[in-house]
């Protein structure tokens, strides 16, 4: 396969070397170089389980997460790009900052090379930065404070890492670009813009060819505070929105049935998030979206009905993106059965070993993502009432990122996801105690493609929408 030219931005399009518009359609590879609790089943944040996970499973076995068989299946769906989430800890240590760990490139190079041989572009996604660029678990942040925006040194370290990445991948045509910071939450709305200025300039001093993908503030949902003419000093950039629909989660107050009113709301949500870019004729990439799915072992008989509703929502979202002719990357490719295109089979050693623990996590709504709080709602509501009674002025409850986070989400993050999870880490780690090398190999191999099930309803929708005219 001949190597293509590096992709570029032209007007509101991404174009190839001959100036032809190209739509990047694919998924996020989470749970590999950036761990997340709902993806692989542990409680809390990656840093809390990293030592135990690496010591007992080892980074080499993590290669099972994405291999040639995954790439072949992925390509068979017609997808042409994959977004690789990574954590800064693969490249530097907090106690030894700005000293590059070369093994980080070893794993990243491997997936980039596998994808290139299959004609699949990669987008490098800085998902977890030192200090935590957002207030959630997926930036490997143990708190609800994004310290990245408070301490300049954290910001400087992120730029240093991008300089190293730019040196490494300059000239690689199979890298579609650099997604330089996932889902920032800057409460001032201004520090993000200043950091983008600095980071773009630093990358372009080394590599001025690759596209830079820029997330909006507040979990990539808000560009409204961006200065009006910022784009004029940010060349060759694509603007990334994350267009999750509330209809796709257990907390939705209504079932999605595809009514005209619901379809209109789905489209309006997208239009609201992308207004800043559309007004200026800028290219848009939907870097994350997608519903979560019911699991029969937890949700019982309503599972199929719930999931058919979610597939309908996904199809209607993709119809909007086809109409708008934008690139997209659904979240995500592989997990243990909640959202992935493929997921670890229930009959694998990994899922059997953690069966009771995963049920406990589900019942206690330990994970924030897509939590169903029905079993502990009475407890959570007691805490919420305690707080609202103590704070009689409702405006005092409007703490950033309000209204995206109201009292329910904030209490859930602090009590269930941070506090309770912290106490469950050792229980999770005990599942590995006493296992020999062969048993550990079996656990890791559970994530191999041949041991995974495919979410056919989801994949059928993606196959239908992977390509659209770019005329």
- Under 8 Å CB-to-CB from 141, ≥6 apart: which residues? 45, 128, 131, 132, 134, 135, 147
Q: Tell me whether residue 398 is one of the annotated catalytic residues.
A: no
CB atoms under 10 Å from CB of 153, counted, come to 12
Mark out the alpha helices in 217-354 (DSSP H runs): 217-220, 260-273, 275-280, 296-299, 303-324, 349-353
Q: Tell me whether residue 254 is one of the annotated catalytic residues.
A: no
- Report in angstroms the alpha-carbon separations of 333 from 56, 99, 255, 326: 25, 31, 25, 20
Q: What one-character-per-residue DSSP string does 367-399 give?
A: SSTT---TTTHHHHHHHHHHHHHH---GGGG--
The two structure tokens encoding residue 44: 């809390």
Contact indicator for 54, 47 with CB cutoff of 8 Å: no
Q: Which of 288, 384, 430, 450 is catalytic?
A: 288
Q: Which of 36, 46, 92, 183 is catalytic?
A: 183
Q: What are φ and ψ of residue 268, in 5° steps?
A: -65, -35
- Report in angstroms the alpha-carbon separations of 450 from 65, 110, 330, 348: 11, 19, 22, 11
- Nearest Cα neighbor of 263 from 309, 322, 313 is 313
Catalytic residue numbers read: 183, 288
């Amino acid at each position: 396969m001949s190597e293509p030219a590096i992709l570029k931005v032209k007007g509101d399009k991404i174009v190839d070397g001959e100036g032809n518009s190209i739509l990047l359609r694919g998924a996020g590879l989470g749970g590999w170089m950036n761990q997340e609790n709902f993806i692989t089943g542990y409680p809390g944040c990656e840093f809390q389980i990293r030592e135990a996970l690496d010591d007992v499973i080892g980074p080499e076995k993590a290669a099972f997460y994405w291999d040639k068989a995954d790439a072949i299946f992925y390509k068979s769906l017609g997808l042409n790009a994959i977004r690789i989430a990574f954590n800064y800890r693969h490249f530097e240590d907090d106690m030894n900052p700005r000293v590059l760990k070369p093994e980080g490139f070893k794993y990243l190079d491997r997936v980039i090379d596998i994808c290139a041989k299959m004609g699949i572009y990669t987008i490098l996604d800085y998902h977890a930065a030192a200090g935590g660029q957002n207030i959630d678990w997926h930036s490997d942040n143990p708190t609800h404070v994004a310290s990245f925006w408070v301490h300049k040194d954290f910001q400087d370290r992120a730029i240093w890492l991008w300089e190293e990445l730019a040196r490494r991948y300059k000239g690689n045509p199979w890298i579609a670009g650099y997604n330089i910071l996932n889902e920032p939450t800057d409460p001032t709305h201004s520090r993000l813009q200043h950091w983008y200025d600095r980071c773009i300039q630093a990358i372009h001093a080394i590599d001025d060819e690759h596209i830079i993908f820029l997330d909006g503030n507040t979990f990539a949902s808000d560009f409204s505070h961006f200065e009006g003419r910022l784009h004029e000093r940010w060349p060759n950039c694509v603007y990334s929105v994350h267009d999750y629909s509330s209809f796709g989660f257990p907390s939705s107050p209504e079932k999605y049935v595809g009514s005209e009113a619901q379809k209109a709301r789905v489209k309006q949500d997208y239009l609201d998030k992308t207004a800043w870019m559309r007004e200026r004729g800028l290219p848009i990439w939907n870097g994350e979206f997608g519903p979560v799915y019911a699991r029969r072992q937890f949700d019982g008989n309503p599972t199929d009905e719930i999931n058919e509703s979610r597939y309908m929502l996904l199809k209607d979202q993709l119809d909007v993106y086809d109409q708008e002719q934008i690139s997209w990357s659904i979240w995500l490719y592989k997990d243990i059965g909640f959202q992935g295109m493929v997921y670890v089979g229930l009959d694998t050693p990994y899922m059997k070993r953690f069966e009771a623990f995963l049920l406990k996590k589900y019942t206690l709504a330990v994970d924030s993502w897509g939590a169903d709080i029905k079993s502990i709602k009475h407890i959570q509501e007691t805490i919420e009432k305690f707080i609202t009674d103590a704070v009689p002025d409702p405006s005092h409850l409007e703490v950033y990122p309000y209204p995206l986070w109201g009292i329910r989400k904030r209490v859930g993050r602090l009590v269930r996801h941070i506090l309770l999870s912290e106490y469950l880490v050792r229980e999770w780690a005990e599942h590995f105690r006493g296992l020999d090398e062969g048993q550990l190999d079996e656990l890791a191999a559970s994530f191999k493609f041949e041991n995974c099930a495919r979410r056919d309803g989801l994949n059928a929708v993606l196959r239908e929408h992977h390509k659209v005219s770019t005329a």
